[in-house]
């Protein structure tokens, strides 16, 4: 599918569903007794939150997590389940970050930064060490980029062991903070935008990560939400693994041919699998439509007994399965004795949709496909 030999680093199978617990544990493990007594506070769109909550609770340390109000419910629920006090605040990560900093200053709790901390960066770098332990002959590694902590730690580890390995970063096209910063030559803040990859939706990348990326990362590319959704669906269907939007951007970049990796041995980091099931359902449905495995038809029928039965019989003979059917009598512009029937069909392909349209038209139905 990609023209490359692809290996997947399944960080979505970590205890908290994300690589983030690596850095969180490394930072929390360095707390002295006084800091442990004061507890920790963090800001996060979800995965860092769960990593901090899980390891703080495991080590007997109180944790408070501030999360943006748009954070997927599964991440909020999981963070609470791991033992943290969760506060929903603000409509962006920056607002949650400011509130967490305020709480830390007010209470004396230790702030655990999600990416701009040497201990966090070092902890995330263990992903790179494991990759080369498992496969020392990799030509390239592709890494999702939000604040930059993961790619910074991995780049240090990978390049130290194999200076020839290529390290590529992938951002959401909606919020390409690292790409814009590298182009400007300094860290810049970008406007907050909604994206399917909310886990890497960061307005300002870390200073530590920026300096490392400028020296050790070979390129940063972007992918849009449609490409991310397609990658999520491909991982689900082909690899039988669930990835959140941020976790699927590396594959999205390969599928969109953004990177020069054809014929190469390439590792992709699937950074997390904490996707809301309602979002996953929408991705699946839109993917089915895009692939021609779902089709919608509007058919004008005389509002008389037997008309619908005849329509469904023709659809069945055309080899389609009716998933949903609705009648519309009131909101139409046709004759009073007419009804519009909307059919959502399970189909095999775009060619099958065209075939069904032809069969219905041939049987005398006034039909349009949408």
Mean pLDDT of the region 140-145: 98
Torsion 190-210-258-248 (CA) sign:
negative
* Same-domain pairing of 48 and 189: no
Percent of the chain topping pLDDT 90: 83
Structural domains in the chain (count): 3
Q: Which of 58, 93, 111 is the last residue of a domain?
A: 111
User: If pLDDT is split at 50, 70 and 90, which confidence band does 89 have?
Assistant: very high
Q: How many Cα atoms sit within 13 Å of 300 on the Cβ side?
A: 13
| Residue after which a domain boundary falls, among 259, 286, 313 | 286
202 and 73 fall within a common domain: no
DSSP, res 137:
T
Does 315 lie in the same domain as 274?
no
Same domain, 74 and 157: no
Range of the domain at 277: 5-15+117-286
Read off the DSSP letter of residue 301. Answer: E
Two structure tokens written together for 293:
């495995």
Same domain, yes or no: 282 and 312: no
Residues 11 and 145 in one domain: yes
Question: Does 231 share its domain with 364?
Answer: no
* Per-residue tokens: 179: 């790409």
| pLDDT higher than threshold 80 for residue 331 | no
Domain final residue pick, 74, 89, 111: 111
Query: Of 203, 76, 226, 68, whose CA–CA distance to 146 is shortest?
Result: 203
Q: Specify whether 136 is located in the same domain as 107.
A: no
Non-local CB neighbours of 186 within 8 Å, separated by 6+ positions: 210
DSSP of 260-272, one letter per residue? S-TTSEEEEEE-B
Residue 78 CB contacts under 8 Å (≥ 6 apart), including other chains: 16, 17, 46, 50, 274
| DSSP structure string for 21-68 | HHHHHHHHTT--HHHHHH-EEEE-SSHHHHHHHHHHHHTT--EEEEE-
Residue 175 pLDDT level (bands cut at 50, 70, 90):
very high
pLDDT at 281 (0 to 100): 93
CATH number at residue 297: 3.30.70.260
Q: What is the DSSP letter of 109?
A: P
Which tokens go with 349? Answer: 């392909």
* 335 pLDDT higher than 90: no
Backbone phi and psi for residue 303, each to the nearest 5 degrees, phi listed first: -85, 70
CA distance 302 to 334: 10
**Are both 142 and 107 inside the same structural domain?**
no
- In tens, the pLDDT along 94-125 reads 789 999 999 999 999 999 999 999 999 999 99
Q: Could you read off the pLDDT of 36-70 as tens digits, one per residue? A: 999 999 998 779 999 999 999 999 999 999 998 88
Query: Domain of 276: which CATH number?
Result: 3.40.50.1100
Q: So what's the pLDDT on residue 155?
A: 98
């Amino acid at each position: 599918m990609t023209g490359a030999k692809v290996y997947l680093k399944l960080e979505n199978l970590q205890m908290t569903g994300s690589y983030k617990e690596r850095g969180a544990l490394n930072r929390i493990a360095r707390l002295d007794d006084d800091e442990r007594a004061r507890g920790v506070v963090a800001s996060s769109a979800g995965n860092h939150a769960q990593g901090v909550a899980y390891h703080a609770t495991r080590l007997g340390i109180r944790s408070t997590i501030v999360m943006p109000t748009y954070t997927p419910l599964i991440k909020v629920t999981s963070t609470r389940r791991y033992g943290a006090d969760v506060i929903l605040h603000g409509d962006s990560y920056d607002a949650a970050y400011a509130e967490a900093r305020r709480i830390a200053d007010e209470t004396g709790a230790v702030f655990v930064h999600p990416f701009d901390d040497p201990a966090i960066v070092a902890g995330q770098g263990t992903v790179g060490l494991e990759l080369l332990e498992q496969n020392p002959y990799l030509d390239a590694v592709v890494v999702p980029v939000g604040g930059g902590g993961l790619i910074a730690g991995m780049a240090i580890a990978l390049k130290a062991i194999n200076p020839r390995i290529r390290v590529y970063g992938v951002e959401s096209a909606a919020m390409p903070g690292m790409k814009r910063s590298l182009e400007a030559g300094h860290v810049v803040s970008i406007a907050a935008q909604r994206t399917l990859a909310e886990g890497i939706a960061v307005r300002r990348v870390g200073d530590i990560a920026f300096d490392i990326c400028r020296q050790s990362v070979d390129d940063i590319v972007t992918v849009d939400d449609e490409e991310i959704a397609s990658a999520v669906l491909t991982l689900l269907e082909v690899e039988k693994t669930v990835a959140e939007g941020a976790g699927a951007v590396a594959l999205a970049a390969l599928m969109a041919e953004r990177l020069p990796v054809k014929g190469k041995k390439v590792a992709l980091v699937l950074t997390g699998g904490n996707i809301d099931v309602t979002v996953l359902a929408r991705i699946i449905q839109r993917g089915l439509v895009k692939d021609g495995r779902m089709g919608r038809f509007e058919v004008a029928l005389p509002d008389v007994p037997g008309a619908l039965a005849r329509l469904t019989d023709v659809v069945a003979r055309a080899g389609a399965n009716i998933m949903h059917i609705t009648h519309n009598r009131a909101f139409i512009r046709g004759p009073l004795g007419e009804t519009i029937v909307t059919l959502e069909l399970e189909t095999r392909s775009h060619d099958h949709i065209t075939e069904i349209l032809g069969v219905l038209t041939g049987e005398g139905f006034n039909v349009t496909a949408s």
